[in-house]
A and B are shown apart, each in its own frame.
Chain A
Amino acid sequence: MTKRHWLLALLSLAILVLPTHVESRATATDVSVGADLFRSSCAGCHGRNATGARGPDLTRGTFRHAGDDAALFRVIANGIPGSPMPGALAFHSEPAVWQLVAYIRSLNRTLTAPEDAGDPAAGKQLFEQRGRCLTCHLVDGRGACLGPDLSGIGRGRTRSSLRLSLVQPNAEVDPAWWRVRLVDRAGRVYQGRRMDEDTYAVRVLDESGHLRTFQRAATRSIERIETSTMPGYQSELTPSELDDLVAYLTTLTRP
């Protein structure tokens, strides 16, 4: 164990005793090493930017199973029994787990907005009118099915992660919404949402709303598009309008 790791181990003991006083001692290096560890071990479920995918969003600063850093350490170290969350101590040292804690703690300092920022009513108006969000999204059955159903988007997503999705739609695209561009043997081009794919075929919801199956053997090329079709709202909306929109999205909590 290196000197730094000893230090971290001691630090961890200190945190166990006095968890609230110690988190600021993590260095930029710890955060950076933690970020690398996160990308190799955690991003598969929690997303590259920790904004959640199969596993929950970790950017919100509060966690269902971890009230403080010590508890966060225990969850990462030991996993959550009965859930797909494994214990990291099976693969990583204790100091490495603390570096993961440091990285996760760093996340909710980068995109934070005050919890009471924005006017949900104004946000709803932006959502439905100028933002034209219902052109693609569904909320309680209203709108369209060209993007994710947002009826429950406010559950388990923080303001910061919602804001990130609005200003950088490509930051984290759920693979369920990846698209494909196919060219068949006759040179005809098809684009659409990638519904499913396997060794022999790709199944697509095409742009006219039809479910289609393409056999790979009958196509010239198949290109996967992992970016979002959503426009970024960084320049479209003012910061306070973004606050309004985010405030509205947090009210959408249908189970």
Chain B
Amino acid sequence: MALLLAIRARERSSTSSTASGHPLTHDRLRAAERDSANWLTYSGQYSGQRFSRLAAINRANAGQLQIRWIYQLRTTDAVETTPLVVDGVMYLTRANDVIALDAETGRPYWTYSHPLPAELALCCGRQNRGVAMLDGRLFVATLDAKLVALDAATGMVLWTTVIADPRDGYSSTGAPLVVKDKVITGIAGGEFGIRGFIDAYDAATGARVWRFDTVPGPGAPGHETWAGDSWKSGGAPTWMTGTYDPSLNLLYWGVGNPGSDWNGSQRGGDNLYSDSVVALNPDDGTLRWHFQFTPHDEHDWDATQVPVLVDAIRDGRSRKLLYTANRNGFFYVLERETGAFLLAREFAKQTWAERIDERGRPVVNRGVAPSPEGVFVAPSANGAANWWPPAYSPATGLFYVTAYDGGATFFSGESPHVPGEMLLGGTIGEEDPTPDGVSAVRALDPLTGARRWEFRLKPKSMSGLLATAGGLVFGGSIDGYVFALDAWSGADLWHRSVGGAVLAAPISYAVHDVQYLSIAAGDTIVTFSLR
């Protein structure tokens, strides 16, 4: 029987060609959970769960995973891309390039290179995290803050739209999200005194349809949470990709830190909507609700992690929930129709808050604000978690996140705002001077926020995760391992050294009925399968 199956598998994989299929419509995007052979959006599906229903690779055979192909990106930039896979074609990004590969062999169809100006204001190097796709068009947001639409078959430019002026510190690094006929994109530049926003563009023409300012202007609700003119350079960037609930027609997007980062004295108030998740109507960009995790943040705790949308039984009834493991060290559960706060619990070391009160607002400890002499606070500026995306498995009901128990010394200082230049308001000292800095993949029970298991990583790692119906959680480490954990127990079932830092999250897809696992590591894309 096993032999017969093997022969059939070989017959399938020896067919003469792979071919792309029907167009990627909005209806297909809505049903991405069931389209398990493909990875259609940044998070694989609108819910942001990063859960693959493919189970050919599972707990019983994960130990037999082998490298199938490697694609060399030949770059010195950090690779943070999550590829899309649509009907046998993989679309991925380098810092300013889009590349189409045959997903079965890893060989190239085409490359698009976006011309960049010589000078760019970037806080953290040149990165791009991926593309969005609709109806044969790819959308990429570029380091010089443009949105470009490409023909997916040829890589030819269909339109280019200016999102913002890069000379003022704006840049784009996140993968856009397509909702209906619109391309939604955020903006980066929170360390450059920008004023953040979330934009929607017409997928056909590139015309901007709406803009939601994450720092409200004069007259808008929330403007009063910024002292004086501080709103003009308030930061609150939106550099990660959001999620979408078609049943509520609501878009969920995480918002980053207020500027300046470590000196809040010039921006008295809560500084909405920095460090918040906002729920927007994707048709017109109006705000339905917001929830701020860290009011008046002075520790750079962006809330940009992908918000994970889960329907689950809670308090005896089925509820529409939003899960997120915030950079500030707390795991939150919100009701996502109204934004009502349901739960917060520490998932990593934190020393800044005594507790989170019944409305979800932190009760902040004394003496944690950065000072000229320096104050040690956990988490560090890099956070208890960060942009690297978490995963959720409907099979185990567990939320998986790469977490870090560590802190740093925060120093405040003065820095006047000069457009296009950094606005930090201080510095951070050496991270984690204590020996107890622990990095781990943690499985949380969303009902209580309790830790079910952890898999410790050394050195500190920052990889995104993938959960699968095969009972696996895939991730990677900064020192170049890719691993598969038992989603129920956290047991190490398989690991391979690929020799390059894993920062992004893995994906899974299938071509000719063979399941693949693919991940960016170092300056390569590595793809595994059972041989």
Q: Which residues of A contact B (CB under 8 A)?
A: 138, 141, 145, 149, 151, 184-186, 188, 190, 193, 195-196, 198, 201, 203, 205-206, 209-215, 218-219, 255
Contacts and interface: CB of A to CB of B under 8 A. Distances in A.
Interface in B1-46: 14-21
A214 B109 contact: no
24 contacts: A141-B149, A149-B156, A149-B157, A184-B16, A185-B16, A195-B108, A195-B110, A198-B107, A203-B108, A203-B109, A210-B21, A210-B87, A211-B88, A211-B89, A211-B109, A211-B153, A212-B17, A212-B18, A213-B88, A213-B104, A213-B105, A214-B17, A218-B16, A218-B17
A218 B15 CA distance: 7
B154 interface: yes
Contact of A203 (B102, B156, B159): B102
Given A184-B16, A205-B154, 11 more contacts: A145-B151, A149-B156, A201-B102, A205-B109, A210-B153, A211-B19, A211-B88, A211-B153, A212-B17, A213-B105, A218-B17
Contacts of B15: 218
Contact of A184 (B17, B102, B104, B153): B17
Contacts of A201: 102, 105, 107
A209 B34 CA distance: 25
Nearest to A197: B107
Interface of B: 14-21, 87-89, 100, 102, 104-105, 107-110, 115, 136, 149, 151, 153-154, 156-159
Nearest to A186: B16
B107 A206 contact: no
Among A149, A206, A210, the one with the most B-chain Cβ atoms within 10 Å of its Cβ is A210
Among B18, B110, B153, B159, the one with the most A-chain Cβ atoms within 10 Å of its Cβ is B153
A134 to B, nearest CB: 13
B136 A209 contact: yes
Nearest to B102: A213
B108 A196 contact: yes
B196 to A, nearest CB: 28
Contacts of A198: 107
Contacts of B87: 210
Contacts of B20: 210-212
Nearest to B20: A210
Contacts of B16: 184-186, 188, 214-215, 218-219
A149 B19 CA distance: 24
A70 B406 CA distance: 68
Contact of B17 (A141, A195, A213): A213
A145 B154 CA distance: 7
A141 B159 contact: yes
B102 A211 contact: yes
B286 to A, nearest CB: 30
Contacts of B153: 145, 205, 209-211
Nearest to A183: B16
A205 B17 CA distance: 12
Nearest to A142: B158
Contacts of A149: 156-157
Nearest to A214: B17
A145 B112 CA distance: 14
B248 to A, nearest CB: 34
Contacts of A193: 154
Contacts of B156: 138, 145, 149
B270 to A, nearest CB: 43
A218 B151 CA distance: 29
Contacts of B151: 145
Contacts of B158: 138, 141
